[in-house]
Chain A
């Protein structure tokens, strides 16, 4: 049997070689279809992978509270214009809202950081240590802030990778002193690299100082009983319903900010994980759609194979008659043409894989998009094209196998 299929393969290869141009054009349909499917899956997969990386770099179960718009003297100010959130809000959220693991308040500013004769403009974040828990962000070197530094506005800083490399190059910055707005800060830690955020910002281009230090020494905010903060980042407990947590935070903050029913919030709760997940779902649907469209071309390619196989069977009627006369069984004839169709489809599939990989690579190279070439999609595409060969080759092969030897032999 193995021998018989090998024999069919050599017959098929000969038949395809005899009509070289026709075979190539027929295969082209499959080549384009498979290449399109592979490229679409690779590009779609790349987009998803990128979103997943962003979700991972953001930290999971992440919610963020930012100030909303407020009404001052009848004028509605845009969101973020006023600092409506406080550290007390953060503390209340973590103690009072169920399923909240951390609620990290932070304030942010921009400043020039100077070391020796180099300097670098970057974002200054005032945070507490729980911020790093929320972001699931680890130090590669050094340590976090200690309690004394937090309560006494210690002049210490933790730097991101970009800042470190901009100011210190390859050197270890821990223990070095930089100046921020003229104030010397000792660097006590370096964070691992997070890469780009979903908005395309470099998340490593950042310096962290204790929130108390930032407020009292850097951000120039009025000292007062209420410690205002720019943002509160919240991490919900794993497995909790972040939507539900979001609602609870909403309720709590409305109550704390004494917002009457019917009035607008002066804050916004954003469920970042949910947003990214929604994006991911959308991109998944998009890539499936693209792959589906690409499969249509594969289908058209299959119809092309069927067409050519029908022509081939008709052309070779006398050959079929001869083979039947010298002892081929109907099954042998069937297999011969089925193998021929499968060879067309599979060869086309293999070439399509090469073309698809090349296109994906080209897109990655030229457009700088993420691509994700999966072995599974390649196996699937080749397998699918072979299946197309069988499916669309079946009818012509059956037609050939049903011929009567005496009729086929006399066919003109």
Chain B
């Protein structure tokens, strides 16, 4: 059973003559453990698709199952819980809380845990758990630094640790390297590769072919439709990550 399964997803804005379809019948399966890049020009529908699979938005029609759960009919609150438990978000602008230490930034999603093994942790347990995730992304020595004291790459690592803190089924990264220089881009993509190697499903939305080259599969969007699914026989970084571990 695929981790993500969409069937004929449609998202449209406006009505009648003015109707614009941001997504026009997208069906895609992503297996657990896959590393998928979604690319396309701006306006191609890739961001809308990411919002759908990230449970940030509801489709106009079509079905979406996340880990076997039909989420297209869930209420707003239920969607929030799904996001909290199953999805870890990584954003282009990092979206870290200013003047807040790395470890507290990482622990933040735990505040909203309502079910699962991470519910009702004490403040200390939350911070301990967050510390573990920061160590996992190689920032064990930057626990109490605030975002302004960290480099862009380090900030994005904190954001990735935050995405991991709820033990999600899926990491959803929206242009994760968009605000980084090429050296940091390599660093972050290697980290994502490494997480994928450890079993995490990773979906990266990007418009840079160099970034997409790290993925096992590259899905190309155009005008709200998938026009191509390409399989990378030799994803960039896969070999290095496997060698280094």
Chain A residues within CB distance 8 Å of chain B: 3, 7, 14, 18, 318-319, 321-332, 404-406, 409
With A18-B99, A321-B95 as contacts: A329 and B51 at CB distance below 8 Å: no
B positions within 8 Å CB-CB of A: 51, 54, 56-57, 76-77, 80-81, 83-85, 89, 91, 93, 95, 97-100, 108-109, 111-114, 120, 162, 166
The answer on a CB contact under 8 Å between B100 and A405 is no
**A322 and chain B: residue at smallest CB distance:** B95
The reply to whether B112 and A328 form a contact with Cβ atoms under 8 Å apart is yes
Contact of A327 among B83, B91, B100 (CB under 8 A): B83
Q: Name 15 interchain pairs, CB-CB below 8 A, sorted by A.
A: A3-B120, A18-B99, A318-B95, A319-B97, A322-B97, A325-B83, A326-B83, A326-B109, A327-B114, A328-B80, A328-B111, A329-B76, A329-B112, A406-B51, A409-B56
CA distance A332 to B77 in the complex (A): 10
- A355: shortest Cβ distance to chain B, in Å? 30
Of A3, A14, A318, A324, the residue contacting B80 (CB under 8 A) is A324
| Besides A326-B84, A328-B111, 20 other A-B contacts (C-beta < 8 A) | A3-B120, A14-B99, A14-B100, A18-B99, A325-B54, A325-B83, A327-B84, A327-B85, A327-B113, A327-B114, A328-B80, A328-B112, A329-B81, A329-B112, A332-B112, A405-B56, A406-B51, A406-B56, A409-B56, A409-B91
For B77, list chain A residues within 8 Å (CB): 329-331
Chain A residues, CB < 8 A from B91: 322, 409
**Which applies to chain A's interface (DSSP): helix, strand, loop or mixed?**
helix
Q: How far is the CA of A323 from the CA of B166 in the complex (A)?
A: 14
Q: Nearest Cβ in chain A — how far from B212, in angstroms?
A: 22
Q: Determine which of A321, A326, A329, A406 lies in contact with B108 in the assembled complex, contact meaning CB atoms within 8 Å.
A: A326
What's the minimum C-beta distance from B91 to chain A, rounded to whole angstroms? Answer: 7
Q: Considering the chains assembled together, what is the distance between the CA atoms of A323 and B112 in angstroms?
A: 9
| List of B residues within 8 angstroms of A409 by Cβ | 56, 91, 95
- Contacting residues, chain B, for A405 (C-beta < 8 A): 56
Q: In the complex, which residue of chain B has the Cβ closest to the Cβ of A336?
A: B111
Interfacial chain B residues near A327, Cβ < 8 Å: 80-81, 83-85, 109, 112-114, 166
For B84, list chain A residues within 8 Å (CB). 326-327
Q: Which residues of A contact B89 (CB under 8 A)?
A: 325-326
Q: How far is the CB of A407 from chain B (nearest CB, A)?
A: 10
- Nearest A residue to B84 via CB reads A327
Q: A18-B99, A406-B51, A409-B91 are in contact. Are A326 and B56 (CB under 8 A)?
A: no
* Shortest CB distance A134–B (Å): 71
Please report the C-alpha to C-alpha distance between residue A406 and residue B172 in the assembled complex, in whole angstroms: 14
Chain B neighbourhood of A3, CB < 8 A:
120
Q: Is the CB of A326 within 8 A of B99?
A: no
Complex CA–CA separation, A406 to B100 (angstroms) = 23
Interface centre among B83, B84, B91, B111 (most CB of A within 10 A): B111
Partner of A323, one of B56, B100, B108, B113: B108
- Residue in chain A with minimal CB distance to B47: A406
Interface centre among A324, A329, A330, A406 (most CB of B within 10 A): A329
Cβ contacts under 8 Å, A14 to chain B: 99-100
Contact partners of A318 in chain B: CB under 8 A = 93, 95
Chain A neighbourhood of B95, CB < 8 A: 318-319, 321-322, 409
Shortest beta-carbon contacts, A-B, top 8: A327-B84, A326-B109, A327-B112, A322-B95, A328-B112, A329-B80, A327-B83, A329-B77
Q: How far is the CA of A322 from the CA of B95 in the complex (A)?
A: 7
* A7 close to B99 (CB less than 8 A): no
Instruction: Give chain B nearest CB distance to A1 CB in angstroms.
Output: 11
Give bound CA distance, A325 to B232, whole Å: 30
Cα–Cα, bound, A405→B52 (Å): 12
Residues B162 and A326 in contact, CB atoms below 8 Å apart: yes
| A7 with B56: CB separation less than 8 A | no
How far in angstroms is the closest Cβ of chain A from B127? 13
| B83, closest chain A residue (CB) | A327
Q: How far is the CB of B96 from chain A (nearest CB, A)?
A: 8
**Interchain nearest-CB distance for B206 vs A (Å):** 16
- Complex Cα distance A406/B99, Å? 24
Whole-angstrom distance between the Cβ of B133 and the nearest chain A Cβ: 13
CA distance A331 to B75 in the complex (A): 14
User: Inside 8 A of A330's CB, which chain B residues have their CB?
Assistant: 76-77, 80
A18→B51 CA distance, assembly (Å): 32
- Tell me the complex Cα distance, A409–B120, Å: 27
Q: Name the CB-closest residue of B to A332.
A: B112
Complexed CA–CA distance, A329 and B83 (Å): 10
Residue of A nearest to B112 (CB): A327
| A323 CA to B80 CA, complexed, in Å | 10
A14 to B81, CA, bound (A): 25
| Inter-chain contact A325/B56, CB cutoff 8 Å | yes
Please give, as numbers and ranges, the residues of chain A lying within 8 Å of B114 by CB-CB distance: 327
Residues of chain A with a CB closer than 8 A to B100's CB: 14
Q: How far is the CB of B10 from chain A (nearest CB, A)?
A: 17
Residue of B nearest to A330 (CB): B76
Contacts of B51 in A (CB 8 A): 406
Shortest Cβ gap from B172 to chain A (Å): 10
Give the CA-CA distance A7 to B108 in the complex, in Å.
Answer: 10
- CB neighbours of B81 from chain A (8 A): 327, 329
User: Which residues on B sit within 8 Å (CB–CB) of A322?
Assistant: 91, 95, 97
C-alpha gap A404/B80 in the complex (Å): 11
When C-beta atoms are compared, the residue in chain A nearest to B51 turns out to be: A406
Q: How far is the CA of A325 from the CA of B99 in the complex (A)?
A: 20
For the complex, what is the distance from the CA of A3 to the CA of B110, rounded to whole Å?
A: 12
Q: How far is the CB of B2 from chain A (nearest CB, A)?
A: 23
Chain B residue at minimum C-beta to C-beta distance from A328: B112
Name B122's closest neighbour in chain A (CB-CB).
Answer: A3
